[in-house]
């Protein structure tokens, strides 16, 4: 139930991504993905994501092991264009056996969305979705 008085229904989310190597991951998110750095301190690097005030905190976690599923994703207007732009920056895309992705690694979901996945330097799975 989404109550009008619930402050979370009116608040921007904050995403959290763990890394084993903060400097390497910071370079990937800032330079390869082009996310603006908002702040950096001893605890995290904070990036701006999108235009709605969403932020992402990149935090070093000793012994971090990536999860086998998507941890962060973006809704994009043109997934094929986004794939091409990221490939041009050296990003590789995951291909999952039996999923039926096309040559660009894009999967057509039953509802019509087009989705693809790629790893960050730690192996965290990130995604792009065109609805």
Average pLDDT, consecutive stretches of 10 residues, N- to C-terminus, the chain (131 residues): 74 96 98 98 96 95 96 98 98 97 97 98 98 97
According to the model, what pLDDT value does residue 77 have? 97
Q: How many CB atoms lie within 10 A of CB 84?
A: 11
For residue 82, the model assigns a pLDDT of 98
pTM greater than 0.75 (yes/no)? yes
Token pair belonging to 54: 């969403």
Q: Tell me, what's the pLDDT at 129?
A: 98
Question: Are the C-beta atoms of 60 and 85 separated by less than 8 Å?
Answer: no
| CATH class for the domain made up of 7-130 | alpha beta
Q: Is 95 helix (H, G, I), strand (E, B) or coil?
A: coil
Structure tokens, 56:
């992402």
> Can you list the positions of beta strands (E) in the chain?
14-19, 37-40, 45-49, 54-60, 70-75, 107-108, 114-119, 125-130
Nearest CA-CA partner of 101 in 86, 90, 89, 117: 117
pLDDT of the residue at 3: 56
Collapsing DSSP to helix, strand or coil, 30 comes out as: helix
- Where in the chain are the domains? 7-130
């Amino acid at each position: 139930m989404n109550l009008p008085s619930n402050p979370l229904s009116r608040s921007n989310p904050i995403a959290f991504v763990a890394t084993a190597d903060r400097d390497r991951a910071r370079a990937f998110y800032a330079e390869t993905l082009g996310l603006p750095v908002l702040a950096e301190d001893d605890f995290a690097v904070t990036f701006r994501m999108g235009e709605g005030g969403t932020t992402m905190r990149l935090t070093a976690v000793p012994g971090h092991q990536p999860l086998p599923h998507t941890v962060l994703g973006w809704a994009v207007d043109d997934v094929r264009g986004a794939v091409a732009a990221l490939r041009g920056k050296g990003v590789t895309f995951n291909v999952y056996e039996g999923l039926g992705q096309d040559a660009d690694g894009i999967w057509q979901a039953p509802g019509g969305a087009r989705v693809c996945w790629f790893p960050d330097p730690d192996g965290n799975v990130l995604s792009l979705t065109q609805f």
